[in-house]
Amino acid sequence: MKRFLKLVGLVSCISVSAFASAQEVNVYSARKEALIKPLLDKFSADTGISVNLVTGKADALITRLKSEGKYSPADILITTDVGRLYRAKEQGLTQAIETDAFKGLISQNYIDPDSNWVGFTLRARPLMVAPERVDASQLSRIEDLADEQWRGRICIRSSSNIYNQSMVAAMIAQLGEEKTQAWLNDFVKNFARTPKGGDRDQIKAVVAGQCDIAIANTYYLAGMASDGDEATRETASKVKVVWPNQQDRGAHVNISGAAITKHAPNAAAAQKLVSFMLQEESQEWYAKTNHEYPLRADVEQSEVLTTFGDFKAEDVDLAKVGELNRQAVVLMDKAGWK
């Protein structure tokens, strides 16, 4: 009888443990806590699944996943740029997501061909100029930035920045290596200074007169335009967004997104979270809070983004952009982009 009770007790413990495990999901997020936790709290309230959140630098989280291996507690990686999602997949850190439920909600281009990652929001990287010093009609294409008239007038982040790497990778995918290298060689000659700082720093440099043109993601400018600090809002108001390549391939875009980890202990809960993030209400909150473009066509963008105007986005295979990342870095190095 005692042996039976012990057995029952053991089975009960196992069942309770399995149940508890199924009621949580562990998230590694490259998004700051304030930009994602309210949505994760809503997920927990709706599903009863608790979320354990770890935030950190995007590349550091991928390194952590790799070092933890099969012992990693992470179920899902939420990160920025398709280059990082591709990198996580390439390193064997992800598994296939069940995508049938949302394939009709967002473009297939924002879902990995092997379903190892899926996009949550769209990010655009146009030109931002000082309108009193730059005639926007002379910047109909990003290729125009290689012209001599822009010598010493461009600010941009370093070549180690993955947003720039993906931008160049997208050019390789559409223009070929030879044309992209030729463009890079002349583009780099037009830098106003050695690349430094983040996207906000490039915008501030334009306003300060250190350069006339910057390349930056729109959500940085939108964040500045809606900042609680009046001086920051004033700075944002002094630049104009210019959408290049509207008559041909479109402006460069990328995504933020997620992948379920290879050894996820709570894969089913992670799948529910991915699906939740693509629900209409979630897309609306996530896109407007982060000032990024929603991937769902039935969800409106933030009012601030609307002021930047409508644009045609490039139609490039994002999986290919991730694949071409190394090649992009090689070309950038050859051109002398620091």
Number of domains in the chain: 2
Q: Are residues 213 and 160 in the same domain?
A: yes
The answer to whether the beta carbons of residues 172 and 328 sit under 8 Å apart is: yes
- Give CA–CA dist 179/176, Å, rounded: 6
The predicted structure's pLDDT at residue 1 = 42
- Give CA–CA dist 204/159, Å, rounded: 19
CATH number of the CATH domain containing 101: 3.40.190.10
pLDDT above 90 as % of the chain: 89
Other Cβ atoms closer than 10 A to 103: 12
Q: Are residues 329 and 207 in the same domain?
A: yes
Model confidence at 4: pLDDT above 50: no
Q: Are residues 63 and 182 in the same domain?
A: no
Ranking 19-23, 169-173, 239-243, 253-257 by mean pLDDT, the lowest is 19-23
- Give CA–CA dist 263/260, Å, rounded: 9
The answer to whether the beta carbons of residues 215 and 128 sit under 8 Å apart is: yes
The amino acid that residue 2 corresponds to is: K
pTM: 0.90
> Rounded to an integer, what is the distance from CA 112 to the centroid of its chain?
14
User: Among 310, 264, 278, which residue's Cα sits nearest to residue 102?
Assistant: 278
Q: Are residues 291 and 237 in the same domain?
A: no
| Residues contacting residue 5 through CB under 8 Å, at least 6 positions apart | none
Residue 115: which domain range? 25-123+255-301
What is the chain's mean pLDDT, rounded? 93
- Give CA–CA dist 99/117, Å, rounded: 9
Q: Are residues 164 and 93 in the same domain?
A: no
Q: Are residues 92 and 210 in the same domain?
A: no
- Give CA–CA dist 189/168, Å, rounded: 16
User: Among 153, 183, 123, which residue's Cα sits nearest to residue 321?
Assistant: 123
Asked whether residue 183 is domain-assigned, the answer is: yes
Asked whether residue 9 is domain-assigned, the answer is: no
Rounded (10°) CA dihedral 220, 222, 228, 234: 100
Asked whether residue 16 is domain-assigned, the answer is: no
pLDDT band at 104 (very low <50, low <70, confident <90, very high): confident
Asked whether residue 7 is domain-assigned, the answer is: no
Q: Are residues 204 and 173 in the same domain?
A: yes
Q: Are residues 168 and 207 in the same domain?
A: yes
